[in-house]
Chains A and B, each alone.
Chain A
Amino acid sequence: MRSGYKSLAISALAVALGSQAMAADIVWARDGDIDSLDPHRATSTLSRQVWYQIYDSLLEFDDNGSVVPNLARSWEVSDDGTEITFVLHDDIVCHDGTPFDADDVVWTADRAIFGDHPSLTKASWGNVISVDKVDDLTVALKLEQPFGAFVPFMADQFTSMLCDSNADAADFGTGSAIGTGPWKLDSWSKGSEIVLEANTDYVNRGRPVDNPGAPKANRLVIRAMPEGQTRVAGLRTGELNVIVPPIQEVKSLQEDETAEVHVAEGTGQNMFLQFAVNRPPFDDARARRAVSHAIDKDMAIQVVYGDLVERQYCPISRGVFGNDPEFCQQHDQDYDPEKSKELLAELGYGPDNPMEVILATWTGDNRERMLQMIQNQLKQVNIDVSIEVMDIGTLNARDTQENNKAEGPGYMDLMGWTWFDPDLLYLLWHSPGAYEGFHTPELDKILEATRTTVDPAEREKIVKDAFRILLEEAAQVPIYTPGWLWLYAVSADTPGFKIGPFNRAQFSAMEAP
């Protein structure tokens, strides 16, 4: 039993040592830091999550994942689909007090597309020819040809709207960031924490969160804390309010009354296997199908993640336009080890001559465990798997390298991509492709049509044609969704946290402890 004296001494010590967080702070701890505050200079989810707090986009996604107005109160696509006009709200104010108008939109788009140092994700803008200010509140973008994914892209963090006053700051992206979002940048101590202050002038024009105005808390402090156990400890002591929990702690946190676990839905994330297809054995579709048939995908995800993820049948995620699990199940490979062995025997592999392959993925989210499950299952059909786990940037480069190598053991990896539109398939598989891997002339044509077709019913049909090829050829073997950074543990005494579609954490309605 703790004596009164002792607890008094302890609380006095605690007060003396102090915690840096102030009264009305929400503290959010993740495993790493952002790469940049400039949405044109990074691609990581950790960065995107923070941009979303500071910047708004022209459009937004509502709870169903449909595109709705945001900074733009309306938009119009010309009949031929090549000109898109946005009309802005007239009372938007940037964090530095300057008005947000057509000039800011033009500045942002010009910088991303036509600057000498364009955005890393420039290709997602499509073939924009010009960005013009029509009047103070109207901007027109002209495209070379219609681009079906353009409108939803205007709701993405990669098209975060920057205020043109950022042009005056030499340290934009590294020390300063002016947007129109619910939180203003106060400071970024690199590698350690980002401090955001509530934007008291904020008007919520489209975000799917139950707060029409400024955030309820005074500050949002975003900390980088690599060790998962430490984040859990911080949540338990009340030092942290929202954390990225380690998977193995999720169960105990779910049972803990002082914490709530939120699981993001409709994240748009896909976890799938892909192969180095320009050399044996995976240049032959039978080898790829053999791998797919040999994996009991339901069992693997149940063992590793339980109910925290869902089985994914289509090459694009649930909640994304065109996803149709029933259709996809007709074209993918069932769990059938016997069938797998037959295919392998056709290719000359068997118990005496096992197929040797490398299976790679990137670090985190218990993916290594997933690879071990797949390794065990493939062992049953005499495929010897060696596992390699690396940083996501390295994995991206490795995939391209492997597709350009004519020699060496078979290579495949568990990869994850997220996008709000089937245009993901164009980025991945239209020749030369994101990793210079699988592509066919037929698929190229279909994917081009998914971009230029604007009529939804027609487009859905074409998207499914692409699914059929990718699944039957086992070029992309879908396994589960979501796959990374989709879990949040929140202290029970700070209600109001919400995850919007596409894994966007909303803090505006959240109350500080």
Chain B
Amino acid sequence: MARFLVQRLFAAVLTIFVTTVAVSMLIHLVPGDPVQIMYAQSQGTTPEQLEAVRERLGLDRPLVEQYIAYVGRLLQGDLGVTIRGEQPVLELLLLRLPNTLILAASALLIASVIGLTFGFIAAYKRGTWLDTALMTTAILGVSMPHFWLGLILLFYFAVQLGWFPVAGSGFPNLVLPALTLGLTNAAIIARLTRSSMIDVFDQDFVRTAHSKGLPKAMVLSRHALRAGLVPIVTMMGLQFTYMMGGAIVVENVFGWNGVGRMAIQAIFQRDYPLIQGFILMFAIVVVLVSILMDVIYALLDPRIRH
């Protein structure tokens, strides 16, 4: 297990290294002059001033030097300041990251509970009307855009029934966005659970367990479910990062103050320091989540550990 973890961590460090290279070079991919874009809003900036900014950002130095300087600043926790309003990037990211993580985690919880239940029942009742009904619902769920479902929930639960506030921060505000994100993703988990469980139900060890005369509930939970969960857990890791992406739309609809919403705005505004910080942070989160998933995977499936 230790060796396995070390391997994983090494891969993680490598991934983050590649990300920092890409991120530090991002500014050079901008069509046109990035400094000109940064100062598009200020009146009467002289060419000398623009030159001074280029120098300050080190844009006139060789790429390798630029990269080293960038990593040097990163290690000191300095991600620069935003172009709009000159605010420290790290602070803005850290302020909002928890909101997105909370939203994605709540949505994953909702998606898992519903998805696993639906998928398991559908697999168990394979070929019955219940299976068809559950899977049709799932297809509807997969096909439903976040934006649309979000507005529907908003109008029904917030405007008509008045159960939840329309937008803002805090627990009551979390319910509707988490449901929106969770319901659409539950469908994906449900479909995967069903096919995975069907595979498992057909396998010899399940049949053996049944023929040994073990109680049905025990076969399903101890034998079948544990084996069937392996691919689903991997999927959930992917789903979590996917939800952090999907959170962008949902955050917009419900005015949830997360990083996704901020990233979209930063991209529209060509706020490079903020975009760079966001990509780096997102990469770190994805890497951490995948390590966590690998560990869980290994715990569930002893073959992987060795």
Within the complex, which residue of A35, A234, A393, A396 is in contact with B166, where a contact is CB–CB below 8 Å? A234
Q: Taking each of A18, A121, A190, A398, which has the highest tally of chain B beta carbons within 10 Å of its own beta carbon?
A: A190
Question: Is A17 among interface residues, defined by CB-CB distance under 8 A?
Answer: yes
Alpha-carbon gap, A189 to B87, bound state (A): 13
Q: A35–B253 contact, CB under 8 A?
A: no
Alpha-carbon gap, A224 to B159, bound state (A): 19
Alpha-carbon gap, A123 to B42, bound state (A): 9
**Distance of B19 from chain A, by nearest CB (Å):** 24
Question: Is B37 among interface residues, defined by CB-CB distance under 8 A?
Answer: yes
Question: Is A20 among interface residues, defined by CB-CB distance under 8 A?
Answer: yes
Within the complex, which residue of B32, B42, B92, B151 is in contact with A190, where a contact is CB–CB below 8 Å? B92
Within the complex, which residue of B88, B151, B159 is in contact with A237, where a contact is CB–CB below 8 Å? B159
A interface footprint on B155-170 (CB within 8 Å = 1, 0 otherwise)? 1001101111111111
In the complex, residue of chain A having the shortest beta-carbon distance to the beta carbon of B34: A397
Using Cβ atoms and an 8 Å threshold, which residues of chain B touch A193?
168
Given the known inter-chain contacts A20-B170, A223-B168, A427-B43, please indicate yes or no for A393 contacting B269, CB distance below 8 A. yes
**Contact size class for A?**
35 or more
Alpha-carbon gap, A10 to B161, bound state (A): 8
Given the known inter-chain contacts A393-B40, A401-B36, please indicate yes or no for A18 contacting B172, CB distance below 8 A. yes
Q: B270–A393 contact, CB under 8 A?
A: yes
Question: Is A495 among interface residues, defined by CB-CB distance under 8 A?
Answer: no
Number of interface residues of B (CB under 8 A): 46
Within the complex, which residue of B41, B83, B88, B163 is in contact with A396, where a contact is CB–CB below 8 Å? B41
Q: Taking each of A35, A174, A193, A397, which has the highest tally of chain B beta carbons within 10 Å of its own beta carbon?
A: A397
Within the complex, which residue of B85, B96, B155 is in contact with A36, where a contact is CB–CB below 8 Å? B85
Question: Is A376 among interface residues, defined by CB-CB distance under 8 A?
Answer: no
Question: Is A74 among interface residues, defined by CB-CB distance under 8 A?
Answer: no
B interface footprint on A383-408 (CB within 8 Å = 1, 0 otherwise)? 00000001101101110110000000
Alpha-carbon gap, A13 to B88, bound state (A): 40
Using Cβ atoms and an 8 Å threshold, which residues of chain A touch B270?
391, 393-394, 397
In the complex, residue of chain A having the shortest beta-carbon distance to the beta carbon of B82: A35
Q: B40–A230 contact, CB under 8 A?
A: no
Alpha-carbon gap, A17 to B162, bound state (A): 11
Residues 1 to 33 of chain A near chain B (Cβ within 8 Å): 10, 13-14, 17-20, 29, 32
A interface footprint on B30-68 (CB within 8 Å = 1, 0 otherwise)? 001100110011111000000000000000000000000
Q: A227–B95 contact, CB under 8 A?
A: no
Using Cβ atoms and an 8 Å threshold, which residues of chain A touch B207?
none
Q: A191–B261 contact, CB under 8 A?
A: yes
Using Cβ atoms and an 8 Å threshold, which residues of chain A touch B40?
393-394, 396-397, 400
Question: Is B126 among interface residues, defined by CB-CB distance under 8 A?
Answer: no
In the complex, residue of chain B having the shortest beta-carbon distance to the beta carbon of A118: B42
**B-binding residues in A (CB < 8 A):** 10, 13-14, 17-20, 29, 32, 34-36, 41-44, 47, 120-124, 173-174, 189-193, 223-227, 229-230, 233-234, 236-237, 239-240, 363, 390-391, 393-394, 396-398, 400-401, 427, 434
Contacts A193-B168, A397-B40 given; 18 further ones with Cβ under 8 A? A10-B163, A29-B255, A35-B84, A43-B42, A121-B43, A123-B43, A189-B257, A191-B95, A191-B261, A192-B168, A225-B255, A227-B254, A230-B166, A233-B155, A237-B162, A237-B166, A239-B166, A427-B43
